């Protein structure tokens, strides 16, 4: 089976987060400015893709409208708390908790979609949770970092529900249109409830970093939905457990963060668990 959608999604998420963290460090951009810049760029880029590809408009029944409203609400909440956390914490500091996101998402999908249940997958998610728990560092967190991790915990819980909503919505709407609705709805909600406090906070440097990360996110947003449509929620979440290894590498070699040995070993063990579960499919 071709897993290009899955690997592209993993690479896009890791690359986007790395560029965002560089932007926070080097250009002093705030999370409100970051979210607004990110989602206006994603909305425009995905909208242009829909225009160029000339995809037919989907039929929006009442059920689809409810699903889309759920996607908008959980996406907006997850992104707000994720951005607040990213500003406060190192990329590698966030990883142990971020690693639970695909595990929680996979367990939700496992419970909701009986057709996707395989014993090997359930074992992989349980082992993954234990491995991540084992690999969590025991750093003494500063006050700001503790606050950032609390924000991240809320964001992870909201994100974990989204893949199952996507799976349902993808029966009625294409991945590209679903991605466009998601990012445009977050843009609207951000403009209403979380607008930038200081418009002068934008500069040529932080805009260029933000646009670069957002274009990568836009690709990942569409590709990840194609992955869910093709492989299902459970398999997609299983493979997203490979993300930590890439983000630890980026944290250490690009961002210069201190990555503990336990974190590296846990990411390698997660990779092994994913490989074994995929092989037993």
- Residue 51 in this model has a pLDDT that exceeds 80: yes
- Per-residue pLDDT tens over the stretch 192-235: 887 776 666 678 888 899 999 999 999 999 999 999 999 999 99
Contact 247, 18 (CB under 8 A): yes
User: Do 212 and 19 form a contact (C-beta atoms < 8 A)?
Assistant: yes
pTM of the model: 0.83
Query: Nearest 5°: phi and psi at 89?
Result: -120, 155
Over residues 127-181, the pLDDT tens digits come to 888 877 776 655 555 655 667 778 888 988 999 999 999 999 999 999 999 999 9
Q: How far, CA to CA in Å, does 93 sit from each of 38, 146, 213, 236?
A: 23, 11, 20, 24
Question: What pLDDT score does 140 carry?
Answer: 58
Rounded average pLDDT over 238-262: 71
Place of tokens 């950032």: 148
**Quick one: pLDDT at residue 100?**
82
**How far apart, in whole angstroms, are the C-alpha atoms of residue 26 and residue 22?**
6
The H or E element that residue 240 is part of is helix 233-240
* Confidence at 60, pLDDT banded by 50, 70, 90: confident
- What are the pLDDT digits (tens) for 67-122? 999 999 999 998 888 877 766 655 556 666 777 888 899 999 999 999 999 898 99
**Tokens (6 digits) for 215:** 């274009």
**What region does 256 belong to: left with phi over 0, alpha with psi -120 to 50, or beta?**
left
The CA distances from residue 10 to 109, 119, 195, 204, in Å, are 19, 24, 29, 28
Cα-Cα-Cα-Cα torsion 63, 69, 75, 77, nearest 10 degrees, comes to -140
pLDDT band at 34 (very low <50, low <70, confident <90, very high): confident
With b for 16 or more beta-carbon neighbours within 10 A and e for fewer, the 56-71 pattern comes to eebeeeeebeebbebb
> Is 226:175 a contact under the CB 8 Å cutoff?
yes
- Is the pLDDT at 263 greater than 60? The verdict is yes
Helix, strand, or coil here: 211?
helix
Q: Can you list the pairs that 86-90 forms with residues at least 24 positions away whose Cβ atoms lie under 8 Å?
A: 86/17, 86/20, 86/21, 86/24, 86/31, 86/148, 87/24, 87/30, 87/31, 87/34, 87/148, 88/144, 88/145, 88/147, 88/148, 88/151, 89/145, 89/148, 89/149, 89/152, 90/21, 90/251, 90/255, 90/257
For the chain, give the number of residues.
281
| Cα three-residue angle 222-223-229, rounded to 5 degrees | 95
Measured between alpha carbons, how far is 215 from 37 in angstroms, rounded to an integer?
A: 11
Q: Quote the pLDDT of residue 50.
A: 94
């Amino acid at each position: 089976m071709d897993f290009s959608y899955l690997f592209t999604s993993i690479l896009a998420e890791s690359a986007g987060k790395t560029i965002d963290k560089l932007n926070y460090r080097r250009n002093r951009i705030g999370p409100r400015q970051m979210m607004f810049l990110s989602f206006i760029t994603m909305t425009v880029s995905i909208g242009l893709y829909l225009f160029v590809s000339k995809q037919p408009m989907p039929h929006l029944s009442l059920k689809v409208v409810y699903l889309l409203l759920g996607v908008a609400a959980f996406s907006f909440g997850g992104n707000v708390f994720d951005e607040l956390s990213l500003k406060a914490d190192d990329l590698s500091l966030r990883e142990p908790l971020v690693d639970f996101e695909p595990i929680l998402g996979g367990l939700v999908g496992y419970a909701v979609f009986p057709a996707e249940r395989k014993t090997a997958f359930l074992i992989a998610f349980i082992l993954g949770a234990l491995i991540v728990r084992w690999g969590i560092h025991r750093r003494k967190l500063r006050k700001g970092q503790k606050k950032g991790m609390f924000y991240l915990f809320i964001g992870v819980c909201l994100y974990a529900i989204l893949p199952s909503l996507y799976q349902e919505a993808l029966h009625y709407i294409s991945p590209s249109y679903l991605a466009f609705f998601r990012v445009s709805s977050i843009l609207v909600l951000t403009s209403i409830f979380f607008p930038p406090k200081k418009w002068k906070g934008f500069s040529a440097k932080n805009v260029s970093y933000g646009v670069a990360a957002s274009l990568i996110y836009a690709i990942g947003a569409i590709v990840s939905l194609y992955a869910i449509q093709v492989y299902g929620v459970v398999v997609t979440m299983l493979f997203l457990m490979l993300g930590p290894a890439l983000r630890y590498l980026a944290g250490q070699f690009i961002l210069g963060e201190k990555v503990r040995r336990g974190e590296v070993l846990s990411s390698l063990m997660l990779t092994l668990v994913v490989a074994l579960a995929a092989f037993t499919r």
